[in-house]
Amino acid sequence: MFIAFLAIAALVIGVAARIILVPLGILYGSDRIEQVNVLVAGLGVLAAVATYRAWTRRSAVRQIGRQPSSSARWDSWVTRLTALAGLVALIIPTFNLIVPPTPANISVEACPTARTWNTPYIAVNLGPDGNNSRSGPARSYEPNGRFPSGCTMGYAAYCVGDPILELVTPGWVNSRWLRIAKQPDGWRATLARWLSGEDAGEQYVAEAVVAPQTAYNSISEARRCPGGYLPPGQTMLEEFDSENQWLTARADHAPNIGFAIWKPPSEPFIDGDSYHQIYTPPPLGGSESHPNPGAAAANGSKSVAWRYRATVADTLRPPPDAESSVTGAVVVLAIGCLAPNVPADVSTAAIDAYSVSSTGELAQLETAMPKLSDDQRIRLAGTACQAPI
C-alpha cells in the first residue's frame, strides 16, 4: 500500500506541475512539454498498477483455493493492458486540451524552444530561414540565438534600436526590437533553466521580421535598453505648399512620419467626426498595394501629397444656393512612427488646422483651432501611422 501511496503522490505532483508551470511560462518548448506529458502518463500507469496490486492483495484471502482457468487469466491480463493503454492515451490529450503548449487564442504554434504563455506580446517569425536573436537592439550586437520561421515566440518588452525595413509592410521602417520573455531571477528562473533550458541572457529580435499575433500596443518600452537609441523627437509641421499640394514634416530620430486629418463633428462635413490618413498615392508614392505612408528621409523629413479638394472640399455639405459657399475646418496631424501602426508619444505630434471652402480655397487657421480630447489625439496619431494591412 505504501508504494501505491507514493505513486499516487508522484502522479498528483506531476499533474499539478504540468497544469501550473505551463501557463506560468516556466515549462515551455514543445519537446519539453511532450516529455513531461509522457512522464506524467507513466506515473499514471505506475499509480494504477500499484493501486490495483494493493487492492488485489487485500482480496487475496477470498480467492484461496480457487484457481482461475487459463482463459480467465488471459482475459484478465488483456483487460488490464487495455485499461493501462487507455489511461496513457487519455492523459496526454487531456493535458493538451486543458493547457495546450500554445495558448488557444494564438493561431500559430510556438517555436520548439520558445515561450508563448504568460507573455504580453506574441509574434510569428517571418525570416525565410528563421530569425536571429541578438544581445542588444541592433545588428551590431552579436547573434546569441536562432529560431525557426513560421512559429510564434513571446516577448516581454521592446527597445528602440537599429531601424530595419519591414517584411510585411514595404515602405515602412521598424525601429522596435523585441526582448524575448524570460523568467525573473529567483526560483522561477531556476526552474525555467532546468525544465526548459531558458537562456539567462537578454535576447532581442527585430520586430521588422515578425508578424504580431497580439495588439501592437500590448507591449511597453523596457525600463533599461542598451545602445542609446532615441525615440522620435518633436515633430515640426511646415505650412502647406498649396502650389504643389505637399505637406512636409520633420522629426529627429523618426524612422517614419505619418500624416492624418480629422473632420470635427461640429463642422459641415458629410462624414463628420472621421479620421483619414494622408499619403501619396501611386504613381508618385509606392505601388497600388503599398502606397507610401512610412519611411522618412535620412534627414528626418517626409512630404506627402494632400489632395484636399477631393478628400475634404468635396465632402462639405452642399450650400443652400448656387451663389453661396460652405467652409469647414479640419485638423492636420503629423507624428513620428516607431513602426507601422505604432506612433511615437502623442505629445510629440505637430497639429495644425485649416479652413476649407466648397469653392476649393484653403487657409491655415492661426486661432480657433478645433479642440481635441486626449482620446481623439491618440486615435488621430494611430491613423497617421496605420499600415495598409
Helix axes 187-196 and 30-58, enclosed angle (nearest 10) = 90
**What stretches of 99-226 adopt beta strand conformation (E)?**
121-125, 131-134, 143-147, 152-165, 173-180, 204-206, 210-212
Amino acid at 119: T
Per-residue pLDDT band for 330 (boundaries 50, 70, 90) equals very high
Please check the confidence at residue 58 and state whether its pLDDT lies above 70. Answer: no
Query: Closest Cα partner for 206 from 160, 256, 172?
Result: 160
Mean pLDDT of 333-359: 94
Q: In terms of domains, do 380 and 244 share one? A: yes
Does residue 16 contact residue 99 with C-beta atoms inside 8 Å?
no
Long-range contacts, stretch 272-280, CB < 8 angstroms, 24+ apart? 275/379, 275/380, 275/383, 276/311, 276/383, 277/383, 277/384, 277/386, 278/247, 278/304, 278/306, 278/311, 278/332, 278/384, 279/304, 279/305, 280/304, 280/305
CA–CA separation, 250 vs 270, rounded Å? 32
pLDDT of residue 291: 75
Q: In terms of domains, do 127 and 165 share one? A: yes
198: domain CATH number? 2.30.30
pLDDT of residue 126: 93
For 7, the domain range is 2-98
Please check the confidence at residue 293 and state whether its pLDDT lies above 70. Answer: yes
User: 41-45, 53-57, 136-140, 324-328: which range is least confident on average?
Assistant: 53-57
How far are the Cα atoms of 76, 78, 85, 293 from residue 55, in angstroms, in the given order?
Answer: 15, 18, 20, 74
Q: In terms of domains, do 11 and 48 share one? A: yes
pTM: 0.84
Q: In terms of domains, do 126 and 259 share one? A: no
Per-residue pLDDT band for 163 (boundaries 50, 70, 90) equals very high
Per-residue pLDDT band for 59 (boundaries 50, 70, 90) equals low
Mean pLDDT of 248-268: 95
Q: In terms of domains, do 356 and 288 share one? A: yes
pLDDT of residue 17: 83
Per-residue pLDDT band for 162 (boundaries 50, 70, 90) equals very high
Q: In terms of domains, do 185 and 265 share one? A: no
Give start and end residues of each alpha helix (H) in 252-343.
308-311
CA–chain centroid gap for 344, Å, is 17
- What mean pLDDT is reported for the chain? 86
Residue 290 backbone phi and psi in degrees, to 5 = -135, 80
Q: In terms of domains, do 361 and 275 share one? A: yes
Within 10 A of 78 (CB to CB), how many other CB atoms are there? 10
CA–CA separation, 285 vs 279, rounded Å? 8
pLDDT of residue 105: 85
More confident residue, 269 or 7: 269
Q: In terms of domains, do 371 and 252 share one? A: yes
Q: In terms of domains, do 76 and 127 share one? A: no
Q: In terms of domains, do 16 and 59 share one? A: yes
Assigned domain for 108 exists: no
Percent above pLDDT 70 for the chain? 87
What number of CA atoms fall less than 13 Å from residue 299's CA on the CB side? 7
Examine the fold and report which residue of 64, 98, 132 is the final residue of a domain before the chain moves on. 98
Mean pLDDT of 339-361: 94
269: which strand partners? 316
pLDDT of residue 260: 97
Residue 363 backbone phi and psi in degrees, to 5 = -145, 140
pLDDT of residue 109: 92
Amino acid at 200: A
pLDDT of residue 74: 47
Cell numbers for 212, please give them: 504580431
Cell numbers for 136, please give them: 542588444
Assigned domain for 110 exists: no
The per-residue pLDDT for range 71-127, each reduced to its tens digit, is 545 445 555 555 656 666 667 777 777 788 888 888 899 998 899 999 999 999 998
Q: In terms of domains, do 46 and 158 share one? A: no
Assigned domain for 225 exists: no
Q: Which residue has the cell 484471502?
A: 61
Q: In terms of domains, do 88 and 146 share one? A: no
Please check the confidence at residue 265 and state whether its pLDDT lies above 60. Answer: yes
Examine the fold and report which residue of 98, 131, 148 is the final residue of a domain before the chain moves on. 98
Please check the confidence at residue 61 and state whether its pLDDT lies above 60. Answer: no
CA–CA separation, 279 vs 170, rounded Å? 14
Q: What is the tally of structural domains in the chain? A: 3
Amino acid at 87: L
CA–CA separation, 351 vs 191, rounded Å? 51
The per-residue pLDDT for range 188-235, each reduced to its tens digit, is 999 999 999 998 899 999 999 999 999 999 999 999 999 889 999 999
Examine the fold and report which residue of 38, 67, 98 is the final residue of a domain before the chain moves on. 98
CA–CA separation, 39 vs 47, rounded Å? 12
Cell numbers for 195, please give them: 525544465
Within 10 A of 243 (CB to CB), how many other CB atoms are there? 6
Cell numbers for 7, please give them: 505513486
Assigned domain for 348 exists: yes
How far are the Cα atoms of 177, 201, 238, 251, 258 from residue 383, in angstroms, in the given order?
Answer: 22, 37, 20, 18, 8
